[in-house]
Structure 1
Amino acid sequence: MSLPASEQPVGDPVDPRPAPRPERITLRGRHISIVPFDAAVHAAPLFAAVAGAENDGLWTYLAQGPFADAERFASFYAAAAQKDDPLLFALVDPAGRTLGHACLMRIDAANRAIEIGNILYAPALQRTPAATEAMALFARHVFEDLGYRRYEWKCNALNAPSRRAAARLGFTYEGIFRAHMIIKGRNRDTAWFSLLDTEWPRARAAFDAWLDPANFDAQGRQRQSLEAIRAAL
């Protein structure tokens, strides 16, 4: 016999109201701005920033690319920019250079869960304060402006740099979905990570402290790592 309903374990009460869906807005930081992707504006400079055989490795774990020429690149991104899920944003530095893109995707407004994905960083953006600030801006928007409770990061389980990035940014590893997808004719096992709204205040404090100009020396080198700052909070 089953237990009476009053004796069965259930989850904590949660506000059942859905979150708003993300819109095409601009988020500005000190080092980077996140803007709605406009192929007419962003495709050509982004292609220039990521093109070339030396950058083919940028596309290994993405569903698209590499692209043979600027025309095919622009055509793909013109179509991608029209979608509402994934919702595509360009990453633009203060000099006006388009140095990457990222998407808010797999949007589940009813359960207030959303994913950050399809992240492409040009070499000029990688391992910079702007790269970290972009992720902080997205997370702040998701939690504080939109009110989501679960923020997800998923990547090919073989993509070691992406897995390290998720851990560095404060996401919690949840496990592997085996044989989850077929990408470019190959199996993809997917590593899942999440950051929850209850964890966001600590994660935000760590982002703010790491991005503080006082955390960098005269040569632009960090004084404390993001992980060390977060662990100390």
Structure 2
Amino acid sequence: MTSLRQKGPLCSLAPAILPSAKTLPGRTITLEKLEPKHAEDLFNVTGGTDPARGSLWDYMFDEPYSDLKTFQESIASKSTSNDPFFYAIIDQRKTLPTFGKAVGYLSLMRMVPSHLNIEIGNVMYSSTLQRTTGATEAIYLLAQHSFHDLGYRRLEWKCHSLNEPSRRAALRLGFTFEGIFRQHMIVKGRSRDTAWFSILKDEWDTSLKSSMDKWLDAENFRDDGSQIKSLQDLRAELGA
């Protein structure tokens, strides 16, 4: 019988650290700690009574927000949370009316520094941000920050098993599907099976970061903003 001592080398990595208010600058967006000052801009692109905006909240833990005051209270509460730790996504596209404004938010969460595990979650992308370079860049910035600033070695992505756009996004970004956690949660009174994905630091350093760097480069986009090479094509070229 093989003992635990014989099953692999001991791990002597130092514990990771928790995120701080450090701003993470990118080319098309910037991530900064979520604050109450971001509430009005975020409400203008995610709140109100428009059914199209209501659908943004289908797989979120929150219900849609129809009035600004309630939304401001929610953002104020999120801004004081350490886990999840929320970031506002600030638009840096100078040609758009949303330049300099918050167009979404997301968080680092379920942090276990002693085991070097961290998760990206609570991803709220307004229609202004969806399917843009910034949507990918936000994940890139958090992945790089998690692995190389905070010292984690496993980055997780979880979503409702029925949330096909989120599952496709995870695979496109290079996360590995690890399975379905059946009857994992009850959200908004409904049972949720959770799809589970991860990226390991070694995978990020070996090829995933390089392919994303190439994809995010301004030279990979035409004047109309369309991509020249897809992220999947670039990963294939690098053997990722």
Q: TM-score range by the shorter chain?
A: over 0.9
What's the TM-score, normalizing by structure 1? Answer: 0.95
Q: Give the Cα–Cα distance (whole angstroms) in 2 for the partners of residues 224 and 32 of structure 1.
A: 20
1:67 corresponds to: 65
1:125 corresponds to: 129
Q: Residues 78 and 18 (structure 1 numbering): CA distance in 2 closer, same or farther, change over 3 Å?
A: same
1:170 corresponds to: 174
Q: Give the Cα–Cα distance (whole angstroms) in 1 for the partners of residues 7 and 65 of structure 2.
A: 50
Q: Give the Cα–Cα distance (whole angstroms) in 1 for the partners of residues 104 and 81 of structure 2.
A: 18
Tell me if 1:97 matches 2:101. yes
Deviation at 1:11, TM superposition (A): 3.2
Q: What's the CA shift string for 1:140-188, capped at 9, x where partnerless?
A: 0001111111000000000000000000000000000000000000011
Q: Give the Cα–Cα distance (whole angstroms) in 2 for the partners of residues 115 and 155 of structure 1.
A: 11
Deviation at 1:196, TM superposition (A): 0.1
What's the TM-score, normalizing by structure 2? Answer: 0.92
Q: How many correspondences in the alignment?
A: 229
Q: Give the Cα–Cα distance (whole angstroms) in 1 for the partners of residues 105 and 195 of structure 2.
A: 21
- 2:234 alignment partner, one of 225, 229, 232: 229
2:219 corresponds to: 214
- 1:30 alignment partner, one of 24, 27, 32: 27
1:81 corresponds to: 79
Q: Give the Cα–Cα distance (whole angstroms) in 2 for the partners of residues 67 and 173 of structure 1.
A: 32
Q: Give the Cα–Cα distance (whole angstroms) in 2 for the partners of residues 192 and 131 of structure 1.
A: 20
Question: Which consecutive residues of structure 2, in runs of 5 or more, have no partner in the other structure?
Answer: 93-98
Q: Residues 132 and 4 (structure 1 numbering): CA distance in 2 closer, same or farther, change over 3 Å?
A: closer
1:134 corresponds to: 138
Q: Give the Cα–Cα distance (whole angstroms) in 2 for the partners of residues 28 and 65 of structure 1.
A: 30
Root-mean-square deviation (CA), in Å? 1.3
Q: SS where residue 198 of structure 1 aligns?
A: helix
The share of aligned pairs that are identical, in percent, is 45
- 1:192 alignment partner, one of 183, 191, 196: 196
Of residues 98-107 and 14-23 in structure 1, the stretch that sits farther from structure 2 once superposed is: 14-23
Q: Give the Cα–Cα distance (whole angstroms) in 1 for the partners of residues 10 and 231 of structure 2.
A: 33
Q: Give the Cα–Cα distance (whole angstroms) in 2 for the partners of residues 79 and 208 of structure 1.
A: 34
Deviation at 1:9, TM superposition (A): 4.9
1:56 corresponds to: 54
Q: Give the Cα–Cα distance (whole angstroms) in 1 for the partners of residues 8 and 19 of structure 2.
A: 27
Tell me if 1:111 matches 2:110. no
Q: Give the Cα–Cα distance (whole angstroms) in 1 for the partners of residues 213 and 121 of structure 2.
A: 22
Q: Residues 48 and 231 (structure 1 numbering): CA distance in 2 closer, same or farther, change over 3 Å?
A: same
